[in-house]
Structures are given as structure tokens and as C-alpha cells.
Amino acid sequence: MNILGPDSLVFGVDDVAACIQYFTDYGLTPVDVSDSGGRFEAVDGTSIVIARRDDASLPAPMETGTMLRKTIYGVADRQSLDAIADELGRDREVKRLADGSIEASDDMGFVLGFQVSVRRKIDLPGEAVNSPGSKPARSPNVLGVSPNAEHRPLTLSHVVYFVPDQAKAAKFYVDRLGFRCTDRFIDAGSFLQPAGTLDHHTLFLIQTPAFMKGVEHFTFHLSGPTAVLQRGTAFAAKGYQSYWGPGRHKFGSNWFWYFNSPVGCHVEYDADMDLHDDSWIAREAPMQVDESQIFLFQHREKWAPGGPPPPGGEAH
């Protein structure tokens, strides 16, 4: 089944105005947005969709109250869509919607949509790094940073679920939808990759008590680590609360910076994720902070030589 990754996440929210402001400031492009909600797109057309919590067009909420109502996956073609409908239709209801997509639920009760992907091809340069001993990636006089760079979110990268039985949840995606496990935290969580991408993961499942079931975070890929740091710094300067980061993960190697959000979960900026093909052998590690990050920065307010020193250090 040629699933490419998440095309869209749909939320039913309490404060539409706050969400509109948040995702606009985050860097997504508002499309058909009104006071009742709308879509916020990355460069490739993947998106976040928000609506009022009581919007009758949304799938029913989970019993835990998570604001995530639906995860919509993009597939390569109609043949893949039909194959998914046939497979899931063996033991659960599969709805065929007016827009040509299908809808069903996974074994944990998360509502899933599948559609021929809306992803547009991206043809943009990634971050170029000059490294001693290697051919320069930037020509002389080409600057590595610009204070005016926008660093827009490029594509919806992955989503992370809290689930009461991560082994059962992972089995559904592996056995029924053709995902494979690229790495795992022992007895705690699996990183899952669908067949249509080489990204380390598009779904991560974390074992939690049943009352916590829902979405922990989601993220969009940016063009590189500078983009994560620069975009995150600008986001924090607007008053949004940093939750974790900036730093770099071990599993997946992606740079990260997480923020609190008005959709009831954390929202991340990430960049430079590992790619894995079928020859990769999944690693295992205990679920602890030191296994989640190779290093972690602490965000500080800007300071300058001669001015007040940063907390925990002296100005030089």
C-alpha cells in the first residue's frame, strides 16, 4: 500500500481565533479561513484543518477529549486507495466520502482518512553547509544566514499518538497498512514508516494510560537546522511558550523545537530527518530522556557582548 504520509490533521477546537493566529504565526498559509475555521497549508499543500469543537461535519470526538478528530493520509494513486478500502473493509466500517476519500478507524479508535495525495512537488534548495575538507556547498560571498529569511514549513512530517496499548496499535499499522518499524523504545513506543516514504517515521506511538489517549504532537519539516532555530526564535519572540528544545533527537536524527499550542497538544518544528530503506534494522533503547535527544539547547533571550550576561554564564 503506497501510503506517502500524513496529508492533513483535522482538529475540533475551543478557540478558533487563537488557532488562526497560532498557525499563521507558525508559518502556514491560511486557505479559506473564516471565524468558523479553515485550512493552513505548508509549501507542498499538506495542512492543518481547524473547526469549532461542535462542528457537525467533524467525526465524533474521542472519549478522552483530545481535539484531534482525524488524521488524513495521502496515497500515491487510486489503486492504493482501493486496496486500503478492501483491506480495512474486512473487519470494520469503511466510509466512501463525496470527495473520493475513504474513512475508517484504527484499533485504538483514531479516525483515519485516506485520499490520493494533495502533495505538490517541492523544488527548493536545502540548507547548504561549508565544512573543512569538503567541497564548499556555498560559493564565495554567498551568505549562510539572512535575518529576513522566511523559512516556511515545507511539508507535514509526522504525528505522535498517546495510546493505551502501543504493541496492538503498531500491529494494526504494520499488518493492515504496510507500515514498518524503524526504531522502538522498549515496551514504550514504536517509530513507524509507511511504504511510500524513506522518512524515519511519519507516526510514533507512545504507551500511556487510557485516559491520556490522543495526540501528543505533530510537526512540519523545515529546510534545515538554521530554519528550526531561526523560525523557533521568532515564534518564541511572539510570546508562544517553548516546551522542549531546541535540540536534536537520536532516533531519526531530526532537529526539533516543540511549542505549546491551542489545539491541546505540542507543535514542533523539525528538520534533517534520517532516511531508511528496507535494509535498515530497527534499533531498541529504553524510554528515557537521554535516549530521546543527542543534545538539548535552552532558549535564552538575546544578549550582546558588553550587555547583561545570559543566565548561568558571563558575558565575554
**Domain holding 166: CATH number?**
3.10.180.10
Of the pLDDT bands very low, low, confident and very high (cuts 50, 70, 90), residue 187 is confident
Q: Where are the alpha helices (DSSP H) in 123-224?
A: 166-177
Of the pLDDT bands very low, low, confident and very high (cuts 50, 70, 90), residue 314 is very low
Q: Is residue 304 part of a domain?
A: no
* Of the ranges 22-26, 124-128, 299-303, 306-310, the best mean pLDDT one: 22-26
Q: What is the pTM of this model?
A: 0.92
> What value does the mean pLDDT of the chain take?
93
Q: Is residue 137 part of a domain?
A: no
Of the pLDDT bands very low, low, confident and very high (cuts 50, 70, 90), residue 300 is low
Instruction: Look at residue 11 and tell me whether its pLDDT is greater than 50.
Output: yes
User: Is the Cβ–Cβ distance between 218 and 159 less than 8 Å?
Assistant: yes
Q: Is residue 135 part of a domain?
A: no
Q: Is residue 136 part of a domain?
A: no
The C-alpha atoms of residue 152 and residue 269 are separated, in whole angstroms, by: 10
Instruction: Look at residue 309 and tell me whether its pLDDT is greater than 80.
Output: no
The model's pLDDT over 200-246, given as tens digits with 9 standing for 90+, comes to 999 999 999 999 999 999 999 999 999 999 999 999 999 999 999 89
Q: Is residue 47 part of a domain?
A: yes
Average pLDDT over residues 59-72: 97
Q: Is residue 267 part of a domain?
A: yes
Q: Is residue 192 part of a domain?
A: yes
Question: Cell numbers of 109, please?
Answer: 479508535
**Domain span at 195:** 3-120+154-296
Question: Cell numbers of 288, please?
Answer: 528515557
Average pLDDT over residues 8-21: 98
Nearest to 114 by CA among 85, 137, 92, 153: 85
Q: Is residue 307 part of a domain?
A: no
Instruction: Look at residue 316 and tell me whether its pLDDT is greater than 70.
Output: no
The C-alpha atoms of residue 271 and residue 248 are separated, in whole angstroms, by: 9
Domain tally, the chain: 1
